[in-house]
Structure 1
Amino acid sequence: MRWLLALIGLMPGAAVAHPHMFIQTAVAVIFDEAGLATGIRVTWTYDDYTSLQVMADVGITEDASGQLSAEQLAALNGFDMDWDPDWDGDSHARLDDRALSLSGPQDWTASYADGALSSTHRRDFSQPLDLRDHVLGVASYDPWYYVFYELSPAIELVNPPPEAGCRAIYRPADTAKAKLDLEAQLRTMQDKAEVEFPAVGKNFAAEAWIICASGT
């Protein structure tokens, strides 16, 4: 994502610390009328510094009440949707142990409150999924840990089939173990770490599990 990489370069301490950007993340799993999971809706709320930088880049400032006008919000809509072709959006889904493909972003929005920019977008699975007898896992992480996505435990299920008894479970990351593993890798890499930082983002990522009851 071109704008994200440009912002990272402006951040204090960007050359020596990870992560550089913090994004509060909420996930909703969407079901169709047949009770099949069709995709996810992702909400990103950016840290204050990143929000300020994005607004400054497009010449937008809040008014005296700390709000943005409808015209300003319209100008910001899609500010983070200009994805490079080889960037996967840092959203990752799996059905049991099988990785799932996700479409590009759709139906995006932008909003602003309390000094922070937020955006939403929808991503579809390649085909609708019957989740009975399966576990759908959804996580948000940057493999290189430049960005930290803090997943909200409030995982939403949109239009789940009532008879399936679907439920969402928040699975926190084992951050203590992740930190120890990272420290061990950095010790072996020494001064190469900033050039080839290890792909440890997944180790720090919480995961949403969606489980539905067996069919009858």
Structure 2
Amino acid sequence: MTPRVFCLSTLLIAAPLGALAHPHVFIDAGLSLRHDASGALTHLAVEWAYDEFYSLLIIEDLGLDPDGDGVLTPDEQAALQGFDADWEPGFDGRLYLETDSGRPALDGPQDFAARYQDGRLISAHVRPLATPLDGDVPLTIKVYDPEYYVQFSVPEPPAITRTDCTADLRMGDPYAASDAYARAVGEALGDGESAEEADLITVDIGATGADSVQVRCGLQS
């Protein structure tokens, strides 16, 4: 996830690259799997719960909750909608599905909604599968930012509409992600260029350290 996704560039100007071996935004991702009447997986509902500090920055940038009571008026609630919905073309939503035969494709996001709750912004959207997936096919789900600007975690197993499914949540290792990022930045600066002199460095640490959910349904559960 890049700063441009949220269209809040004044808040998300990158710190000096020497300090970039850690994420700048922390998001707890909630997932819900939706199946059709035949048992095929058709949609994933996603919630992003932003950390309290980043939530406050956005609330202040949007000029909401001036009395600081943590409660938005109906007009403020309406103004909050879509604050992170302006995705760049091709942005993958940092949601990745894996099966033994490859990665099922996801269509673009739908049904954005947002709320401010207990000091955190919570944004929701829905990702349809480009083609419904046989619900009995073993599936692995990961949510991560390969550029490590955002650290995602999946604190709870997903809700699943089918009753014959199990979801095995396997926590990742954030230290592994941090180490991989530091190594990637070091390699990118290996020609002697200092972090201060570098205009922009983009690295990709892949799924290193990411939480994962393994879903098994039917005879596979």
Common topology (TM > 0.5): yes
Residue of structure 1 equivalent to 2:85: 81
Higher helix share: 1
Cα distance, 1:83 vs structure 2: 0.8
What TM-score, normalized to structure 2? 0.82
Q: Please state if 1:207 is matched with 2:206.
A: no
What TM-score, normalized to structure 1? 0.84
Q: Distance in 2 between matches of 1:201 and 1:113?
A: 31
Of all paired residues, the percent bearing the same amino acid is 31
Q: Which 10-residue stretch deviates more, 199-208 or 60-69?
A: 60-69
Q: Which 10-residue stretch deviates more, 84-93 or 35-44?
A: 84-93
Residue of structure 1 equivalent to 2:103: 99
CA displacement, residues 24-56 of structure 1 (integer Å, 9 cap, x when unaligned): 111111111221111211101111222122222
AA matched with 2:76: Q
Cα distance, 1:204 vs structure 2: 2.4
Q: Distance in 2 between matches of 1:19 and 1:39?
A: 29
Residue of structure 1 equivalent to 2:126: 122
Cα distance, 1:126 vs structure 2: 0.8
- Consecutive unaligned residues of structure 1, counting only runs of 5 or more, are none
- Aligned CA RMSD, in angstroms, stands at 2.5
Aligned positions, number? 209
Q: Please state if 1:51 is matched with 2:55.
A: yes
State whether residues 154 and 211 of structure 2, in contact with CA within 8 Å, keep that contact through their aligned partners in structure 1. Answer: yes
SS at match of 1:99: coil
**Relative to structure 1, is the Cα distance of residues 97 and 171 closer, same or farther in structure 2, using a 3 angstrom cutoff?**
farther
**Relative to structure 1, is the Cα distance of residues 62 and 96 closer, same or farther in structure 2, using a 3 angstrom cutoff?**
farther
Q: Distance in 2 between matches of 1:139 and 1:103?
A: 16
Cα distance, 1:185 vs structure 2: 3.7
AA matched with 2:148: Y
Residue of structure 2 equivalent to 1:37: 41
SS at match of 1:202: coil
Q: Which 10-residue stretch deviates more, 60-69 or 113-122?
A: 60-69
CA displacement, residues 53-75 of structure 1 (integer Å, 9 cap, x when unaligned): 22222221254642111221111
Q: Distance in 1 between matches of 2:17 and 2:90?
A: 23
AA matched with 2:149: Y
SS at match of 2:13: helix
**Relative to structure 1, is the Cα distance of residues 200 and 28 closer, same or farther in structure 2, using a 3 angstrom cutoff?**
same
Q: Distance in 2 between matches of 1:139 and 1:6?
A: 29
Which of 8, 18, 29 does residue 25 from structure 1 map onto? 29
Q: Please state if 1:146 is matched with 2:149.
A: yes
Cα distance, 1:152 vs structure 2: 1.8
State whether residues 60 and 72 of structure 1, in contact with CA within 8 Å, keep that contact through their aligned partners in structure 2. Answer: yes
SS at match of 2:127: strand
Q: Please state if 1:189 is matched with 2:192.
A: no
